[in-house]
Amino acid sequence: MQASLIVLDRKTTGVINSALLGLGLFGFCLLGIFTRPGADLASFWPANAFMLGMLVRFPSLANPLSWICCAVGFAAADLITGSTILNTVVLNLGNLTAISAGYIVFQRLEPADRRLARPASVLFMLVAIGVAALTAGVIGTVADPFLFGGAPLDALLYWSATEMVNYVAFLPMILTLPDDPLNRLQRIIDTPLDIMKLLPLLALAGTAVAGAVVGGPGAIAFPVLALLWCAVTYSLFATACLAFAFVAWTLLAIATGYLPVADNTADRATLLSIRFAVSLTGVAPLVVASVMAAREELLQRLMFLSNHDQMTGLFNRSAFLENAARRLRGGRSHDFATFVLMLDIDHFKAINDQYGHAAGDRVIIAFAELLKRNVRKNDIVGRMGGEEFAAILSECTAREAQVIATRINTVFAATPVCLEDGSAISATVSIGMVAAASPSIGIEPLLAMADEALYAAKRQGRNRVITPHQA
């Protein structure tokens, strides 16, 4: 009974999400319709990019119900604003067909490319956008002469350019949407204000205003340097948002006359040139931001590799010593102390000799995972080399440290390690534990004392926890 309720809840959630997608699309359609220069295509039409982006970014939305809700949203927006049924059917059939073409291309991309996480991702996105825009253009060669009296070749170029600029403006913002936008926003709010971080944003706003004041065809390019500055300063998502703001502002300002770039912006040839220029300008910061994001990811990966053991993911020796020394310098409270553990897998050479080095690696990995699970969140663990590990237990009593060390020892002895051939072997660990009597004692002397206790555990039969006074 409980399982059926869970399934029902998921279905209900799916229906609600599809309905919300259709409602959001309806809102963006209205926004686009209000920018139509007479009986022509809208100056800014984010609806198609919104739908395509949501289907790609949130795969659970890509279901028949979502497509139906979106079709209803398209039709409702046109009909309530006075469009004829024929225009509504033709235009929205074209919208859905173009979106389908773009979606098919995106489905063939790697997940990282769908999120614009690699330098070449923007190029792949442009291919998908190009397919969707060209599909819209092909439909326009038939629909435009029939609806607006245009020539087929002009319709191909005009419809394609219009779709391209809208996709370039809106789609990257959805594709790069963080997994936890609310938490990300809260972290931004909690971060102290840095005036220097605001300079690229202020420069973008200033150049946009300057373009409106000066006017002329070159006004479109005024914000280019500011956009590139934003791309090397802000995250990929933030850059996508700012690129969207630039494209939306430029198109709407031109449509309403606030940005005078030509004498006759109602002319299709002029609009075609303007929209291509705006779309290409909007792409530039995305390319830079994508490269910067990939560079940052690479630097973080290199930093991780330089500080962590490749096999286990624990701190390596140098990183462990650095973090442990920092923890010790933090001092101790009156009722708590810091404890240092040295841990060594028993008879590890015999395991390698009998079962092979691959089996030995599995034992090391299994112990590292067990070690991470059985210490506290703020404790520090590292692989010192070979089968030897170390841990720092801070802010705990002697009894708590003994409980943690004993648990590691007991659980590892009771947990067989599975090998590739399906067999399993058992191993044990010896542990030496010492308390940091004073913050002035460095990590190296403490590790030496814990090491002495460890070898006392080896001499006393292995598979045990020993402190200096027990040695």
The 10s digit of each residue's pLDDT in 123-178 is 999 999 999 999 998 998 888 777 766 778 878 887 888 888 889 888 999 999 98
d(C-alpha 45, C-alpha 357), whole Å: 61
330-350 pLDDT, tens digit each: 755 556 789 999 999 999 999
d(C-alpha 384, C-alpha 444), whole Å: 12
Q: Where are the domains of the chain?
A: 2-306, 317-470
- Average pLDDT of the chain to the nearest whole number: 87
Q: In this predicted structure, what is the pLDDT of residue 277? A: 83
Q: In this predicted structure, what is the pLDDT of residue 332? A: 57
29 contacts 43 by C-beta, under 8 angstroms: no
- The residue type at 289: A
Spatial CA neighbour of 106 closest among 169, 181, 171, 18: 171
> 83-87, 133-137, 323-327, 357-361: lowest mean pLDDT where?
83-87
3-class SS at 139? helix
pLDDT reading at 433 higher than 50: yes
pLDDT reading at 470 higher than 80: no
d(C-alpha 50, C-alpha 52), whole Å: 6
pLDDT-derived band of residue 31, with 50, 70 and 90 as boundaries?
A: confident
pLDDT reading at 301 higher than 80: yes
Question: Is the domain covering 317-470 a CATH 3.90.79.10 domain?
Answer: no
d(C-alpha 399, C-alpha 426), whole Å: 28
Q: In this predicted structure, what is the pLDDT of residue 27? A: 93
pLDDT-derived band of residue 42, with 50, 70 and 90 as boundaries?
A: low
pLDDT reading at 84 higher than 70: yes
Q: In this predicted structure, what is the pLDDT of residue 469? A: 73
Average pLDDT over residues 226-240: 92
The side-by-side arrangement of strands in the sheet containing 337-345 is 380-385, 388-396, 337-345, 429-435, 465-466
Q: In this predicted structure, what is the pLDDT of residue 5? A: 38
pLDDT reading at 7 higher than 50: no
Helix (H) or strand (E) holding 392, with range, is strand 388-396
Average pLDDT over residues 286-295: 88
- The residue type at 32: G
Average pLDDT over residues 96-110: 95
Average pLDDT over residues 318-337: 81
d(C-alpha 278, C-alpha 263), whole Å: 18
Percent of the chain with pLDDT over 90: 54
User: DSSP character for 312?
Assistant: T
Helical axes 317-329 vs 443-459, angle rounded to 10°:
110
Average pLDDT over residues 87-96: 88
> 214-218, 302-306, 364-368, 415-419: lowest mean pLDDT where?
214-218
Helical axes 268-307 vs 121-147, angle rounded to 10°:
160
163 contacts 130 by C-beta, under 8 angstroms: no
Spatial CA neighbour of 342 closest among 398, 412, 415, 392: 392
Q: In this predicted structure, what is the pLDDT of residue 357? A: 93
Q: In this predicted structure, what is the pLDDT of residue 471? A: 57
End-to-end CA separation in angstroms for the chain: 59
Residues 6+ apart with CB under 8 A from 14: 60, 63, 65
Longest dimension (CA), the chain: 96
Spatial CA neighbour of 375 closest among 433, 296, 425, 332: 433
Give the Å distances, CA to CA, from 427 to 110, 287, 309, 406. 41, 52, 21, 15
Comparing 102 with 152, the larger pLDDT belongs to 102
341 contacts 433 by C-beta, under 8 angstroms: yes
3-class SS at 314? coil
Comparing 213 with 334, the larger pLDDT belongs to 213
pLDDT-derived band of residue 38, with 50, 70 and 90 as boundaries?
A: low
pLDDT reading at 44 higher than 90: no
pLDDT-derived band of residue 253, with 50, 70 and 90 as boundaries?
A: confident
> 234-238, 372-376, 406-410: lowest mean pLDDT where?
234-238
Average pLDDT over residues 105-116: 92
pLDDT-derived band of residue 39, with 50, 70 and 90 as boundaries?
A: low
Q: In this predicted structure, what is the pLDDT of residue 36? A: 65
3-class SS at 82? coil
pLDDT reading at 423 higher than 60: yes
Find the DSSP H helices in 120-151. Answer: 121-147
**Residues present in the chain in total:** 471
Tell me, rounded to whole angstroms, the distance of Cα 263 from its chain centroid: 44
